[in-house]
Amino acid sequence: MIFIKLGNYLIPIVVLIIVFYAFKKKVNVYDSFINGAKEGLELSIDIFPYLIAILFATNILLKSNLLSTIFNFCKPFFDFLKVPVEILPLAIIRPISGNASFAVMIDLIKKFGVDSFIGRLAATMQGSTDTTIYVLSLYFGTIGIKKIGHAMWAGLLTDLISIIVSIVLVSVVFG
């Protein structure tokens, strides 16, 4: 209970400390804030096309039957490994979109339950991987970097390792 009350006051206290420090250093806080807000708005405008492209690509992938076809093809292999094929949409969507993967995770938890193997695996995968494609396209696109090959492969390899480790750990702990 004390931590909740402390948390409610923490941000205003930090803001006051920053304002006090800026005042002590003779920085015009209001002008600095306005300049920062302008830069933030310009950055939002620069980022917007990349966000639209990512959302469009994600929706095409989710709404098509391509994923279902891939999952049906891969089912015997995953059954052999004793990995539920229902987790594949999350594994594929997670590097692309955080919100879409969160929706997939929620659907899995609603369908199989929070204490099920699939529910625990989905939560673990959601927390242990990152939205690599999103991050690369957003940040690299915003600053104009065109050659993202090595960063993309390193990020996707890290996501793959995180997915494999999630499956192994959840199998060992809860299997």
In order, the DSSP letters of 59-105 are HHHHHSSHHHHHHHHHHHHHHHHT--GGGHHHHHHTTT-HHHHHHHH
Closest CA to 61 of 166, 155, 133, 111: 133
- Does residue 118 contact residue 86 with C-beta atoms inside 8 Å? yes
pLDDT band at 3 (very low <50, low <70, confident <90, very high): low
Measured between alpha carbons, how far apart are the two ends of the chain, in Å? 35
Report percent pLDDT > 90 for the chain: 28
Q: Residues 91-124: pLDDT tens digits?
A: 988 888 888 889 889 999 999 999 999 999 999 9
Q: Compute the mean pLDDT over every residue in the chain, rounded to the nearest whole number.
A: 86
Whole-structure pTM value: 0.66
Nearest to 123 by CA among 170, 74, 58: 170
pLDDT at 150 over 70: yes
Q: Which two tokens stand for residue 101?
A: 């993967």
Handedness of CA 147, 153, 156, 158 (dihedral sign): negative
Q: What is the pLDDT of residues 12-61, one digit of tens each?
A: 888 899 889 988 988 888 888 899 889 888 877 877 887 787 778 767 87
Mean pLDDT of 78-82: 88
Distances (CA, A) of 142 to 8, 62, 95, 137, 157: 34, 25, 19, 8, 23
Please compute Rg for the chain using Cα positions.
Answer: 21
Q: Phi/psi of residue 96, each to 5°?
A: -95, -50
For residues 122 and 105, the answer to whether their CB atoms sit within 8 Å is yes
pLDDT digits (tens, 9 = 90+) for 34-47: 998 898 888 778 77
